[in-house]
Chains A and B, each alone.
Chain A
């Protein structure tokens, strides 16, 4: 990958997100929670950037700030040369077409009162209102085939699908507008291990075929290592390490990354026993440092 020679499609510079927690009592004063603290990274066309970190480290908040579902308190996110924070409503609509999201809970991210076909067609209705009903139906059917669903399931409701199938509907909905970037927010965490592999492979195949970029958010570094070319490690809202997936996983520089990698289980009890000792050592070192 000669990523450095090209212009990044998404440039994030010193992005911070703050939440104001309600003041406690009359004289409590307002508390400010800084969920994301000055994160910077670049994302190139056709690339997968994995974002890893433990629960509550600001991964999801960061992704929502990038697409302006949450306001950023400082810094900027530049999409194809335009600052997302300063976009007007037309530009924002274009952005919503170009950046789609896949969510964690496959069933909860689908409206239970709509059929699979309607759910997948919704972004089409918003972004391409001019195409006819028939063409829309055909596009939906083609997209369903592409993500591994039978087009005959078009009239079924979300509760009639399995978790993996629901996530495929979510992926189809994200892909239908031909986006340039898809943000996968813990997209496979809620899935069973075997189905997780299927969905991850589906995402990788689709990426190869369509040349889209992925921002793959997960707390599971093993999955991220499999899908991402580059990995960014977040810890309490800050970037502690960013680099090629190979380098981050094989030769981590930061203690936190080392601990993350040590926490991935190995399917061999003997090796696992040795590693347990290693993990304890790392934890003790971390405790001493803190």
Chain B
């Protein structure tokens, strides 16, 4: 932004010198937390595994000999067969399980990511506004959350599906729109305690607008509980998606998700165990790792109450 005073050009050199040359970078709270997190072995290993699963889920399908909807008429309900390239066996329709597990993981991860982003965005802003303004605004906004809580989310998703037709995007939005409720409550509670801090009063005394205070002073200080809760939301969303798909409201054939695969594999676990083991192993690993990451983040972000 150019200065109106005209001094800006003259001062730029001096300012650059001040800002770059002889001003060492400070150690922010986030960097501190990351340093503590990197010392937590379980969390680091979990992050590694989750990253690996994400990479394999998105890049893997290009290296697998079979497509996820491709039918191999010569091998239906067959256990793992390395010669034909069915590394995890095939299902009742002769489709390659490895390809399907990869596609399912991909779908579950996308649902989890989008729904988490939706729920964090809505929840944080809603909660922070409600907590900051307090009083009547707060009661009104929180009563709305209570009402939403009382609605069964299955009903909500069914209404959405009936109104807009079957669409995976709708699934993300539907789940995200429900998950934000808890986030909003957590954020509101935190905001109530942060807004009593002196630096908020300092910002008000220097004339900052309410919205600026919320965005610049309150939201950054919420990052601890929000990040922790978000990592714990991801598993919840994966499970919710599995449940909806099981009911036939979620992802539709030939596309699949971890939940759909497991629900298809569970009834035949005794005769075709490979149909259950593959997707179940991925889901369990993913959930376990996310829980460890959540724990690690909690310890790292809030070293006081371990």
Q: Which residues of A contact B (CB under 8 A)?
A: 67, 69, 92-93, 96-97, 100-101, 103-105, 108-116, 122-123, 126-127, 130-135, 137-138, 141, 151-157, 159-160, 170, 173, 177
Contact = CB atoms under 8 A, between A and B. Distances in A.
Minimum-distance CB pairs A-B, first 4 = A132-B3, A96-B207, A132-B8, A156-B26
A157 B26 contact: yes
B7 interface: yes
A100 B204 CA distance: 10
Q: Which of A126, A135, A155 lies at the interface centre, i.e. has the most chain B CB atoms within 10 A of its CB? A: A135
Contacts of A177: 206
A103 B29 CA distance: 23
A108 to B, nearest CB: 4
A110 B199 contact: yes
A176 to B, nearest CB: 9
A145 B105 CA distance: 57
Given A108-B199, A134-B3, A154-B18, A100 B26 contact: no
B205 A155 contact: no
Given A104-B198, A111-B199, A160-B26, A131 B4 contact: yes
Contacts of A113: 28-29, 220-221, 223
Interface stretch (B9-17, B42-50, B294-302): B9-17
10 contacts: A69-B205, A93-B207, A110-B202, A126-B208, A131-B8, A132-B1, A134-B8, A135-B8, A138-B14, A152-B24
Interface in B89-121: none
Contact of B198 (A103, A138, A156): A103
A179 to B, nearest CB: 10
B11 A135 contact: yes
Given A138-B11, A177-B206, 4 more contacts: A101-B201, A126-B212, A156-B24, A173-B206
A134 B22 contact: no
A97 B207 CA distance: 7
B18 A151 contact: yes
Nearest to A144: B18
Contacts of B16: 134
B198 A108 contact: yes
Contact of B1 (A126, A133, A151): A133
A154 to B, nearest CB: 5
A170 B202 CA distance: 9
Nearest to A92: B207
A155 B23 contact: yes
B2 interface: yes
A130 B216 CA distance: 20
Contacts of B201: 69, 101, 103, 109
A135 B207 contact: no
B14 to A, nearest CB: 6
A112 B221 contact: yes
Contact of B206 (A108, A126, A151, A160): A126
Contacts of A159: 29
A130 B221 contact: no
B202 A152 contact: no
B205 A96 contact: yes
B197 interface: yes
B15 A133 contact: yes
B199 A109 contact: yes
Interface string B248-270: 00000000000000000000000
A262 B205 CA distance: 35
A152 B22 contact: yes
Contacts of B12: 134
A158 B4 CA distance: 31
Given A105-B198, A126-B206, A111 B22 contact: no
Contacts of A100: 205-206
Nearest to A141: B18
A131 to B, nearest CB: 5
Contacts of B207: 92-93, 96-97, 123, 126-127
A154 B27 contact: no
Contacts of A115: 26, 28
A157 B32 CA distance: 11
Interface string B149-191: 0000000000000000000000000000000000000000000
B11 A134 contact: yes
A69 B205 CA distance: 7
A153 B4 CA distance: 28
A191 to B, nearest CB: 15
B71 interface: no
A96 B212 CA distance: 15
B217 interface: yes
B24 A69 contact: no
B29 A157 contact: yes
Contact of B19 (A130, A137, A156): A137
A109 B198 contact: yes
A4 B261 CA distance: 87
Nearest to A95: B207
A151 to B, nearest CB: 6
Contact of A152 (B23, B204, B208): B23
Contacts of B26: 115-116, 155-157, 160
Interface in B32-82: none
B203 interface: yes
B25 interface: yes
B267 to A, nearest CB: 52
Contacts of A153: 23
B24 to A, nearest CB: 7
